[in-house]
A = this chain, B = another copy of it.
């Protein structure tokens, strides 16, 4: 029995709320139960130096967490003077995941930055961030098309992400924090609407994961991502 009464293959209630930022070119508040991540897409003309003159654009992400998004207060990274290894790992993951479905040449020499800020954290913040960031990105690109800046849509695929894990030997979909901290294994799947693999990160916390348990997690994730893609489609 899960802490919130769900069955092993059920996700939490997911809401993808758009239009939450009055200024950003795209925005989405992604709610996976008590995990709330505010994703904004900012279109800028400056691109990384190594792309200058290449005719290609860039999609990147930054990730942050409000100090009291969690059960106990965490240190503010700006005050600490640096982003933690975990933060950097997550923002690199979000960026890679989105770039896997974007034609950077079709985007032209501009950059879209996805800011994913966790307002409340109850597990699965990085997968909620990817799922919401795709919506914000899509909105920003739609805006560029409406403004006649772009002729073709550079976003050629749809991507969403979900976490799974093994608790007391049981593979479960979409872990909340209470489950996450006791999981024997933890896996994040970033998949396309068609089931293509964008990124898999599976980690044994305590002891190695048997191959068949990994297979079950993968199956759960595919179901979850299909559902998430339907919700995404309904808002963009």
A residues with CB within 8 A of B:
21-24, 27, 34, 38, 40, 42, 44, 62, 64, 66-73, 76-83, 85-89, 91-92, 96, 100-101, 113, 115, 117, 119-120, 157, 185, 187, 191-192, 194-211, 214
**Most chain B C-beta atoms within 10 Å of own C-beta, residue among A68, A113, A196:** A68
Q: Known contacts A23-B69, A40-B68, A96-B203; can you find 20 more A-B pairs with CB under 8 A?
A: A22-B34, A40-B67, A42-B68, A42-B72, A62-B67, A66-B115, A81-B81, A82-B82, A85-B88, A85-B92, A89-B89, A100-B204, A100-B208, A195-B211, A197-B204, A197-B210, A197-B214, A198-B203, A198-B208, A199-B203
Chain B nearest CB from A4 CB (Å) reads: 13
Count identical subunits in the complex: 6
Q: Is the interface of A mostly helix, strand, loop or mixed?
A: mixed
By a CB distance below 8 angstroms, the chain B residues around A62 are: 67, 76, 79
